[in-house]
Structure 1
């Protein structure tokens, strides 16, 4: 969460099948490497859950 200004800067997080959406309290420069890691983690969770359907 430090790459997006920390937990205290994150107001709301939502997701759809392909994206995570963050709403911030203040505008900050998002560390793209960390965002990419979070996105890949999310995809792994989705595909892992889908394998049990």
Structure 2
């Protein structure tokens, strides 16, 4: 992930913010993994079509 964001310290008042930050982080990681997988699949298909 290219952008690093500070996660709020988890505490009584910050629990919701911490949950939102964690959700955002997980979403960003999954998006990057998905993009990489789609790119890999596209390259594999392109290679097979050229053979």
Question: Which of 1 and 2 has greater Rg?
Answer: 2
Greater fraction helix: 2
TM range (shorter): 0.3 to 0.5
Greater fraction strand: 1
